[in-house]
Structure 1
Amino acid sequence: MLTLVLMVVLFALVFEYINGFHDTANSIATVVATKVLTPMQAVMLAAGMNLVGALWGTAVAKTIASGLVDVQVVTITSQVLICALSGGIVWNLITWWLGLPSSSSHALIGGLCGAALGASGTDWAAIIWSQPADPWWKGAGVLWKVVVPMVTSPVMGFLAGFAIMGLLFALIAGMAKTGGPLARLARPRWVNGFFGKAQIVSAGYMGFAHGLNDAQKTMGIIALALVSAQAVGTLDNLPDWLAFLHPSDAALREGDIDTWIKITCALVMAAGTAAGGWRIIKTLGHKMVKLHPIHGFAAETSAASVITLASSLGIPVSTTHNISAAIMGVGCAKRLNAVKWTVVERMIWAWILTIPAAGGIAYLMVEGLRLLGWA
């Protein structure tokens, strides 16, 4: 039914809006916390760079649309996608209310896998667990596209943050020892002034990386719904004002994402950021490590580089995990006790629970619909 397809699109955009609460808030947390930009300025910067990033590539969207669930085992109907999105939405709202920067990416992946599992009658073969390839990042399935990146990308973010911050500290210390003009440039006032400007660039880079990876995940869900609907004839005889829902030839043949989907997802994500991200900005930008512009620059540059690399390989990684890990790395470069480890512990528990929790919610929703005769 066309109504169900439109509901999938609506639920996907609601998820993207809530993703703005969550993950885009993470991407601008440091530049707001260091007072380089006001929240509204940071939101506008993130919105613009999200849009650029979202339009830049589609490798991650293709992974979400086809690399995690075996459509030979389970039919991905509109009802299944609605349950998948609902699982992610509910978990995101819970963690947002608690101020925990959990991963919207993993909430969506968990919801999709849980809904597929429920729709298949708990047939675990419905989930593509592992399809190895050479090189490894071209492999498909939960292991290669979710589990391995879930472990490796935060580690890379932490190490990159630690290394960049350490190099900057060493550079400034060396300048201070030389005397003369270079020593004056190493004074806190000059350092904060320079990195205050540099952090605008790194914040833009972070927004670009976030759009390149996170915005694509919801795009993949919408594209999957529309291609499936086209295949069964649901989109036949659409009125002219809904003609844009027809997937393009490139979308049908090669899994490309239509431009209207990219732009809509990017704009909705930016709106979500403006509406409610401050709870999580406070956790990342204030509670975990005390940040100055130089720390924000190092954290954003580190996290954005890891996310951009993953996006180019079609790997859906978590903006939340990467920026959080990079901030931890930057904090540890100052000193170990600069990181408030009790806050980190709460965050890690949220990370661990996200996929099973969102998956469980989606699974129960599918079972509920089945009992009602709607699935």
Structure 2
Amino acid sequence: MEISFGYFWTGITGSPVLAVTILLTLGVIFVNGWTDAPNAIATCVATRCLRARTAIWMSAFFNFLGVFVMTQINSSVASTISNMVDFGNQTHEALIGLCAALLSIVIYSVGASCFGIPTSESHSLIAGLSGAAIAIHHGVEGINGAEWIKVIYGLVLSLALGFATGWIICRLITVLFRNMERSRANRFFGGAQIVGAAAMSFMHGAQDGQKFIGVLFLGIAFYNGSSSVSGMEIPVWLMLLCSIVMAMGTSVGGEKIIKSVGMDMVKLDRYQGFSADLAGALCLLYSSLFGIPVSTTHTKTSAIMGVGAVKRLSAINFNIVKEMMLTWVFTFPGCGLISFIMAKLFMVIL
């Protein structure tokens, strides 16, 4: 079954709960583009290959392409997110749970971004959906363990593979280009890093865009009286809607996050920045093709740490790393708890 835009618009105008769900989802996509997408261009700005504003607009464009192109090639990440929880057969309660999950992401992400700390909207989304499902079922019956295990795989993959790939690529570059004149190397890797940042932005859209398309699909399915998205096809207009909203969020900025990731954590040369971008993009491509939802923040920052470790471990500012790790550790219980409370509250009020 393919959902037409006319059916979608009729649902929004006829169901206040669905309208709120859609608006919150688009708000989360916007926040993701604002707070998460700057990670993709942080190293490019830090090494002065591009000015911050130019890099942000470039990232917005390639985020748009990433959502649109990858969803048509392989939409398995969207399916994983959609099937991760079961909100039950009462579609009204299911929409309420979805609203609670989305609101918890906005509250948590905006709060963290005020301190310039990168957030993982991917894990916020997963935690929010899980917290709402637990609230509706009064237990863990609504959690799909088979799909949830992919989140654990993604957590390990984004950290371990990102670090290892960053280290290997950077090490190879130092060997292959060791005899190149420094000024020439800077010019070469300056251009290469712009390409790497574009690839990172594309893959950010491919990963995170699909996750939120999965959430939008859930909302439409609940309105349609279905408890799952089985048999529904992702329409082109929905891909365009999500990609445009994410691009708009990216264009707003994110200078604090660019500074935290690209400048404060590790002091990078241009060849190192290119290594981190290429490593992050490759890890996200692999994850997207195999339907594993990963955090673009985890992937990029672990790649940067791998690159920094090529010189020496002391090149990494572990105070910044510690702040990020604490934020990630608190994401699951923090967002999950906010979503649980919101779901219980909404079920009483609505």
Contact preservation (8 Å) 1:328, 1:339: yes
Name the SS of the counterpart of 1:231 in structure 2. Answer: coil
Contact preservation (8 Å) 2:21, 2:98: yes
> Quick one: percent identity of the two aligned structures?
35
Summarize the alignment of residues 114-193 of structure 1 with structure 2, pairs less than 5 Å apart: 114-121=131-138, 123-129=139-145, 131=146, 140=147, 142-143=148-149, 145-173=150-178, 176=179, 186-193=180-187
Query: Hey, what does 1:113 align to over in structure 2?
Result: 130
Query: Hey, what does 1:70 align to over in structure 2?
Result: 86
Contact preservation (8 Å) 2:57, 2:250: no
Contact preservation (8 Å) 1:61, 1:257: no
Query: Hey, what does 2:222 align to over in structure 1?
Result: 228
CA distance in 2 between counterparts of 1:21 and 1:257 reads: 24
Counterpart amino acid of residue 41 in structure 1: T
CA distance in 2 between counterparts of 1:313 and 1:282 reads: 32
Contact preservation (8 Å) 2:82, 2:214: yes
Shift of 1:21: 2.0
Which segments of 5 or more consecutive residues in structure 2 lack a partner in the other structure?
A: 1-13
Are positions 1:47 and 2:66 aligned together?
Answer: no
Counterpart amino acid of residue 17 in structure 1: F
Query: What are the superposed Cα offsets for residues 227-266 of structure 1, whole Å, 9 maximum, x if unpaired?
Result: 221237xxxxxxxxxxxxxxxxxx9663432222211211
State the Cα RMSD in Å: 1.7
Contact preservation (8 Å) 2:207, 2:294: yes
Out of 196, 208, 233, the position equivalent to 1:202 is 196
Query: Hey, what does 2:321 align to over in structure 1?
Result: 344
Name the SS of the counterpart of 2:309 in structure 1. Answer: helix
Which segments of 5 or more consecutive residues in structure 1 lack a partner in the other structure?
A: 132-139, 177-185, 233-250
Contact preservation (8 Å) 1:74, 1:126: no
Query: What are the superposed Cα offsets for residues 294-342 of structure 1, whole Å, 9 maximum, x if unpaired?
Result: 1111001001100111011111100000000000011111211110011
Out of 295, 299, 304, the position equivalent to 1:318 is 295
Contact preservation (8 Å) 1:24, 1:270: no
Report runs of 4+ in structure 1 exceeding 6 Å deviation.
none
CA distance in 2 between counterparts of 1:231 and 1:28 reads: 41
Aligned residues: 331
Shift of 1:74: 7.3
CA distance in 1 between counterparts of 2:280 and 2:203 reads: 9
Shift of 1:72: 4.9
Query: Hey, what does 1:28 align to over in structure 2?
Result: 41
Are positions 1:92 and 2:69 aligned together?
Answer: no
Query: Hey, what does 1:213 align to over in structure 2?
Result: 207
CA distance in 2 between counterparts of 1:53 and 1:311 reads: 11
Name the SS of the counterpart of 1:254 in structure 2. Answer: coil
CA distance in 1 between counterparts of 2:137 and 2:167 reads: 45
Are positions 1:308 and 2:313 aligned together?
Answer: no
CA distance in 2 between counterparts of 1:47 and 1:280 reads: 16
Name the SS of the counterpart of 1:52 in structure 2. Answer: helix
Name the SS of the counterpart of 1:77 in structure 2. Answer: helix
User: What is the TM-score with the length of structure 1 in the denominator?
Assistant: 0.84
Contact preservation (8 Å) 1:74, 1:119: no
CA distance in 2 between counterparts of 1:9 and 1:72 reads: 19
CA distance in 2 between counterparts of 1:302 and 1:5 reads: 39
Are positions 1:14 and 2:47 aligned together?
Answer: no
Shift of 1:73: 7.4
CA distance in 2 between counterparts of 1:357 and 1:47 reads: 29
CA distance in 2 between counterparts of 1:15 and 1:45 reads: 21
CA distance in 1 between counterparts of 2:22 and 2:55 reads: 28
Contact preservation (8 Å) 1:61, 1:218: yes
